[in-house]
Amino acid sequence: MTDLKQLELPSLTRDILGEIEASLRQVNAADLDALVAEIERAPKVFCLGAGRSGILLQAFCMRLNHLGVEAYMAGGLPCPPVGASDLIIVASGSGETRSVSAVLEQGRQAGARVALFTARRSGARSMDADVTVVIPAPSGLVNREHPQNLQPMRTLFEQGFFLLCEAIVCWLKLKKGIGEEEMAQRHANLE
């Protein structure tokens, strides 16, 4: 247990930022490129996650729509049926969230492709995906062979996931030549 008398909030913040940076530096750039290519060619994108990862995925889904990508939260309203060549983007720190796996299997049966964000480097129980982006985020819950980070549970994975999604949005915005005004026109006006 950390001695709080020796800890200052600004230094804790710097330590957390250091953990995030160290984790993101280890993400495979080729995997991110493959994910962007999948998003670009998919007729529709479905986002699937549970818990905090699912909440962050909702923000990514919204931004994809702002970019003109037809994107939906799986199981949300409205949500059309998934079909062949559609993409399901999954966020699961463990790579084995049961509720997510069950829905994912239905998408696979319909012929959808799968992109997975996970902290799990590998394992027999990991979800099967066409593209896997591993966010190295050791914790006592995943990747137990690596030292635990400062933050609780899967927070480091979630932070890295959110920042990667924001970077993907920026990258797609630049690639497509989409300006702020065009994105703003697709933003909700019933708030």
Which residues are known to be catalytic?
Answer: 158
Closest to 87 (Cα-Cα) out of 38, 54, 31: 38
Buried b (16+ CB within 10 A) or exposed e, 171-180: ebbeeeebee
Tokens 């702002």 -> residue? 66
Q: What is the total residue count of the chain?
A: 191
Q: Determine contact, residues 53/161, Cβ cutoff 8 Å.
A: yes
Stated as kind and residue range, the H or E segment containing 73 is strand 71-73
